[in-house]
Amino acid sequence: MKVKYNGISLPQVHTQQWTQQLIYDPSGTDGVYMRHELAVATLLHVDQLADVEGDTLGKKLAFMRQQLLQPRKTLTLEIGSFQYRIGPHQDVHAGPKPQEVVVREIFGDQAVRILFRIEFALPVCDSPYSSYEGKFLFHRWSVNETIGEDHRVHRSIAGRLRLSQGWDSPHLWRHVVFPPLEYGFARRRMVFRAPEDGLSLEYEVEDEQVSDAAPWPAARLEGSFTIHMDHEALFNATLDVRLVGPPLSSQKVPAKQLLLVRALQVAENRFGGLLKKNLEKNETSFFITSAILSESLGDLAEVNLRSLPWLPARTFVKQLRNGSGNSGNRCNCETTTRCSPPFRLCTDTTLKGESGVLPC
Residue 151: burial class (beta carbons within 10 Å; 0-12, 13-18, 19+):
exposed
Overall fold of domain 2-123: Elongation Factor Tu (Ef-tu); domain 3 (2.40.30)
pLDDT value, residue 103 = 94
pTM: 0.70
Instruction: Name the residue ranges covered by the structural domains of the chain.
Output: 2-123, 132-209, 220-359
- Render pLDDT for 2-58 as a digit per residue (tens, 0 to 9): 999 999 999 889 999 999 999 998 889 888 899 999 999 999 988 888 888 888 888
Half-sphere exposure of 354 (CA within 13 A, CB side): 11
Residue 358 has pLDDT above 50, yes or no: no
pLDDT value, residue 34 = 93
Residue 342: burial class (beta carbons within 10 Å; 0-12, 13-18, 19+):
middle
- Render pLDDT for 78-123 as a digit per residue (tens, 0 to 9): 988 889 899 988 899 999 999 999 999 999 888 999 999 999 999 8
List phi, psi (to 5°) of 274: -110, 5
- Render pLDDT for 158-214 as a digit per residue (tens, 0 to 9): 999 999 888 889 999 999 998 999 988 999 999 999 999 999 999 999 999 998 888
Most confidently modeled of 159-163, 225-229, 326-330, 337-341? 159-163
The answer to whether 202 touches 193, Cβ cutoff 8 Å, is yes
pLDDT value, residue 295 = 83
Residue 174 makes CB contacts below 8 A (sequence gap 6+) with 192, 201, 203
